[in-house]
Amino acid sequence: MIKLERTSVMNLENALRGMRNPLNSWNKCDSAYNENGEFIVGENDLDLGGRLARSGSDHRKFLRQIFVCVDITAPLYWWKEFDTYKVGTTANSTSTMHKIHAKPFTREDFSSDRMTDDALACLDQTIAFLEKRRLAYVETKERALWDDMIQLLPSSYNQMRTCTMNYENLVNMYYARRSHKLPEWHTYCDWILSLPYADTFITVKE
């Protein structure tokens, strides 16, 4: 299970203006804001941006200046793979260390959508044990009970992080992960494709 919410795409205007700096071709810029305050990329800028994007990372530096921020809720086993992408990305997460005891454990806290019945039964037993430990810790603040929760917590536990990255990061993620065996990556790549002008600036190797 993975959820991507509250997506913001920022700095398109500045990135496209900077894209034209090497040849001083600002007079050909045809992007503008419409009556609703939305920034619309013009045909000239789309054409140049697409050609630069397809020319390789040395030429598409403007993609590093198009920023994306999104809230992602995903299981720890997926975050372990996402953490491969350290350069150019930033993530601020909810805290397992500080808040693991703050609410009851329920099945909804875990990604269990592909588990067999036997695995779900095992998960339910783990959840029940974690909840007993949580209640005891809330009452006594005994460190051993907290350690039990932290060290027994399954990798299917969902965590939300607010992530910031750029379009160049997303080019690399899309082509590295679009055929991955984890369905969460397929949902993530579908989200990438939904971003503004992804078909021109991100899917550059098609």
CATH of the domain at 56: 3.30.1360.170
- pLDDT tens, position by position, 112-169: 999 999 999 999 999 999 999 999 999 999 999 999 999 999 999 999 999 999 999 9
- pLDDT tens, position by position, 110-125: 999 999 999 999 999 9
Statement to judge: residues 38 and 77 lie in one domain: yes
Q: Which amino acid is at 170?
A: L
Statement to judge: residues 167 and 143 lie in one domain: no
Q: What share of the chain is helix, strand, coil (3-state, %, to 5)?
A: 50, 15, 30
Could you give the CA distance from residue 98 to residue 122 in angstroms, rounded to a whole number?
26
206 found inside a domain: no
The overall pTM is greater than 0.95:
no
Statement to judge: residues 54 and 80 lie in one domain: yes
Could you give the CA distance from residue 57 to residue 61 in angstroms, rounded to a whole number?
6
Domain that holds residue 130: 101-152
* Spatial CA neighbour of 197 closest among 23, 36, 31: 31
Please give the tally of structural domains in the chain: 2
117 found inside a domain: yes
Within 8 A by CB and 6+ apart from 163, the residues are 69, 70, 71, 72, 89, 90, 91
What's the half-sphere exposure (Cβ side, CA atoms, 13 Å) at 117?
A: 0
Statement to judge: residues 41 and 62 lie in one domain: yes
Statement to judge: residues 163 and 147 lie in one domain: no
- pLDDT tens, position by position, 27-58: 999 999 999 999 999 999 999 999 999 999 99
The three-class DSSP label of residue 162 is strand
